[in-house]
Chains A and B, each alone.
Chain A
Amino acid sequence: MANLKPIVQAKVETDTLIALAQADTVTQAAEILGISRTVLYERIAKYGLTEKLKTIHESALVELATGAGKAARNLISKIDSENEDISIKASTETLDRIGLTKPNKSDAGTINNFGQMIVAKSDKYAD
C-alpha cells in the first residue's frame, strides 16, 4: 500500500503557503485554513514556510516589476481623461507614486506587512 504521509504533508504545506500568501495577517491565514494560530505557527516552523514565503514574495515582485511600465503608462494616460474625476484621481495617484504627496499615516500596505514581519521574527524572540 502506498505511503500517503508524504502526499498529505505536501498538500498541507502547499495549502498553508497559499493561505499565508493570500492573507494579510497570520490570523486571517489561520481563518482561511480553519485552524488556530498556534497550529499555524507550528506548521510555519515545521515546513520552514517563512523562507518559502519570502521567495514567493520576491517572485511576485519580479512579476509585478515586469508589468510596472505598462501600468505606469496606463495611469499617466488617464490624466488626460475627459472625465474630471478620473483625471484628478490619476493625477493624485501619479504624484503619490513618486512621493510628492503627503503619505497617509494609516497606509494599509505598511500595516499589512506587520503580520508577515511578526512571523519572520517570532522565532528569534520567542522565550
Chain B
Amino acid sequence: MQTSPYTKSALFIEDELTIIDKTGQEVPFVLNDIQRQFVTDATGKDIILKGRQMGFSSFILGAFTKDFIFKENSLSVVIADIADNAQDLLSRVKHYIAAFERANNTKVPLKYNSKYELQNAYNNARYIIGTAENTEFGRSKTITNLHMSEAAFYKHFRKLQAGAGTALIPTGRFVIETTANGFNDFKTFWDESELGETDFTAHFYSSHDFYPDEYLEKEKKRLGRLFMQEHPKTALEAFLTSGELYFDQDSLRELLKMTKEPLKV
C-alpha cells in the first residue's frame, strides 16, 4: 500500500501539537474527518478546493512544522493571499512550536524569528511565509514544502505556481488550497488537473460529505443566500456561486439541477 506523504505529519500533529478551539481553549490537535481524508488522498502534489473553515491550513502548517523541527536544511514556504493572512498563518506556526516546546519541555533554538521567517539554529531548517503580491516569491530557492493558501484569490496565480513550483525539490510537497473565486486562472488550472493535464491531483471536499445535517441547517439559516458559496456541494457549484457574479445565484442553482450529463465528451 502506498504511504501518504502526510502520514508521519499526521502522527506528529496528533502527538505533539495543540490548537485553540472555537471557545478559545487550547486543546490537543485531533484531526477531523476531512483532514484524515486528505491524508489518505494526498499524492504530494495536490490541489484542494473546499468550503469554508475545514481546517486545511491548520493541518498543512502543522505538517510543515514537523519538517521545520526535524528535517535538516528543509525550507517550508507558505504563500498567503494578503499580508494580514500571512501574519495570521505565521502566528499559528509559532503557536505550534510553543506547543511542541511545552509538550517536550524543550526550546526550539531559533536563529531568526521575524515577522515572516523562522530559522531553526539546530538544523538550519527555515519556515517562510510570504504574500502573493510578490510574484518573484519563492524563485531561486530550493523548497521542500510549498503551500499556496487561498490561491484562487491571487492576481498572478499562474506566475506564482510556475515560479515557486520550479524551486520545489523532486520529493517536495506542494499543496494548493483554496475556496473558489469564480472563473479565473485557478479554475482553468483546476480543470486541467481534473483532466490529468497537470501533475497535480485535484481534490474537492464538500461540507455536505462531512458535517451533520443539523450543523448545515444552522449554517443555511445563518448565511442565507451565501450558503451555497460557503458550503458548495460540488466543484462546479463552488465556481459558479463565487467571484463576481453576473447571473442570479438562485437561477443558476435551478438551472444546474436541470443540467444533463453530455452523451459524449
Contact = CB atoms under 8 A, between A and B. Distances in A.
B8 A126 contact: yes
Nearest to A25: B122
A3 interface: no
A36 to B, nearest CB: 10
B109 A125 contact: no
B70 A111 contact: no
Among B70, B107, B109, max chain A CB count under 10 A is at: B107
A114 B122 contact: yes
Classify the secondary structure of A's interface with B: helix
Interface residues of B, number: 16
A121 B71 CA distance: 12
Main secondary structure of the interface of B (DSSP, over half): loop
A113 interface: yes
Interface of B: 5, 8, 11-12, 66, 69-70, 72, 104-109, 122-123
A121 B16 CA distance: 11
Contact of A107 (B5, B107, B123): B107
Indicate the size class of the contact surface on chain A: 10 to 19
A24 to B, nearest CB: 10
B104 A117 contact: yes
A117 B72 CA distance: 15
Contact of B108 (A114, A124, A127): A114
Contacts of B122: 25, 27, 114-115, 118
